[in-house]
């Protein structure tokens, strides 16, 4: 932690986790832009804009195309933004929107209903414009933590047709809205669905009022089902998406975690980066997935005491697993492993309790 920036953590202005997150925004090896990044962060700036402009500034600086060599000479992000735009060809808004749209998956697009699943903060801001959803705000922290730390998938529903709007207003809870309260009625025409890795759903209006969930009470579940039924939306459209693709990015939010539970997430693989980034782990639970192989880097998890791999599709285990001398519990039941492979690891890990049946 640099001397010029540690004051923010000491004074309680920035948490340690936020500090580490902001470090990732600095493309320089020496983290020379970090003081400016933190100063801008404390003004509640647009983090996507901050990240982009710092990267562009760094590129221009390395190409020797600018005369202002110290980023701290800019008092605000706006000054940096204007300066970079003057020295760089910023793409048109239309082109930017076209590219952002590529970061979202269109699920349904009819005259009555439009459903999209954003895969980035920029896409969440674009499709969640004019709502009060925190994941669609200018600060990307909420998106990053929900999407990468908790692996939640999001679906945005927009109600279009007048007939289906009328049908929606006839549902048992929406029809209580006063007919003259246009703003409240329109809040139901744009809804965000949060889908958890285990498939549980929660729905929020444009004003961020929860209108239903698939768990935690019959009334909430009924409200959610009535809403989706009125729109003709099948629950099978609303499933967890792209969790495997998020894993590499998610490690930065779990730096201090000693326990990691990735069970029942539909995973088919674990990235090699886990051994290089999560070396502090003591417990790793990967049960009830569809994992076929484990990376050799798993042998770098020297502090690992518990490794549960119950009910996967493993036919072999990496040799490096035998390097985990601190391992106390190894769960292998429910995998098509040969007796020979299991016997070999029992020999390599004599002090480990191995569950095979």
pTM of the model: 0.70
Q: Tokens 């005259």 sit at which residue?
A: 111
13 band by pLDDT with thresholds 50, 70 and 90: confident
118: three-class secondary structure by DSSP? strand
At 177-200, the pLDDT tens digits run: 455 555 666 788 999 999 999 899
Closest among 226, 110, 120 to 173, alpha carbons compared: 226
At 73-105, the pLDDT tens digits run: 999 999 999 898 888 765 556 677 888 899 999
Closest among 331, 337, 338 to 310, alpha carbons compared: 331
Spell out the domains of the chain, with CATH numbers in brackets: 3-90 (no CATH), 97-237 (no CATH), 243-355 (3.80.10.10)
At 324-335, the pLDDT tens digits run: 999 999 999 999
Are the beta carbons of 8 and 19 closer than 8 angstroms? yes
Of residues 122 and 1, more confidently modeled: 122
């Amino acid at each position: 932690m640099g001397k010029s920036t540690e004051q923010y953590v000491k004074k309680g202005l920035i948490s340690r986790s936020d500090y580490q997150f902001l470090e990732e925004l600095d493309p320089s090896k020496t983290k020379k832009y970090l003081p400016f990044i933190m100063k801008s962060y404390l003004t509640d700036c647009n983090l996507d804009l901050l990240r982009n402009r710092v990267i562009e500034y760094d590129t221009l600086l390395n190409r020797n195309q600018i005369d202002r060599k110290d980023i701290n000479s800019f008092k605000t992000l706006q000054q940096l933004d204007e300066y970079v735009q003057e020295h760089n060809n910023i793409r048109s808004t239309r082109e930017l929107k076209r590219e952002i749209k590529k970061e979202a998956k269109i699920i349904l697009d009819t005259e009555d209903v439009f459903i999209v699943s954003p895969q980035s903060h920029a896409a969440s801001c674009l499709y969640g414009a004019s709502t009060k959803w925190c994941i669609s705000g200018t600060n990307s922290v909420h998106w990053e933590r929900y999407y990468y730390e908790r692996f939640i998938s999001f679906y945005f529903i927009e109600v279009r047709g007048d007939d289906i709007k009328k049908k929606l207003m006839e549902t048992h809870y929406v029809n209580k809205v006063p007919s003259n309260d246009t703003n409240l009625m329109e809040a139901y025409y744009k809804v965000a669905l949060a889908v958890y890795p285990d498939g549980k759903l929660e729905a929020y209006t444009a004003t961020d009022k929860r209108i239903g969930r698939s768990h935690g009470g019959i009334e909430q579940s009924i409200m959610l089902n009535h809403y989706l039924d009125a729109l003709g939306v099948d629950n099978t459209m609303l499933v967890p998406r792209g969790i495997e693709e998020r894993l590499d990015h998610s490690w930065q939010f779990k730096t201090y975690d000693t326990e990691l539970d990735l069970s029942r997430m539909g995973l088919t693989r674990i990235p090699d980066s886990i051994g290089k980034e999560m070396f502090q782990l003591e417990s790793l639970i990967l049960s009830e997935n569809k994992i076929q192989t484990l990376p050799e880097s798993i042998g770098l998890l020297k502090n690992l005491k518990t490794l549960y791999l119950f009910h996967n599709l493993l036919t072999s285990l990496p040799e490096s697993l035998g390097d985990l001398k601190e391992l106390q519990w190894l769960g292998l039941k429910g995998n098509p492993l040969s007796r020979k492979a299991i016997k070999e690891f029992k020999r390599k890990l004599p002090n480990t309790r191995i569950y095979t049946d």
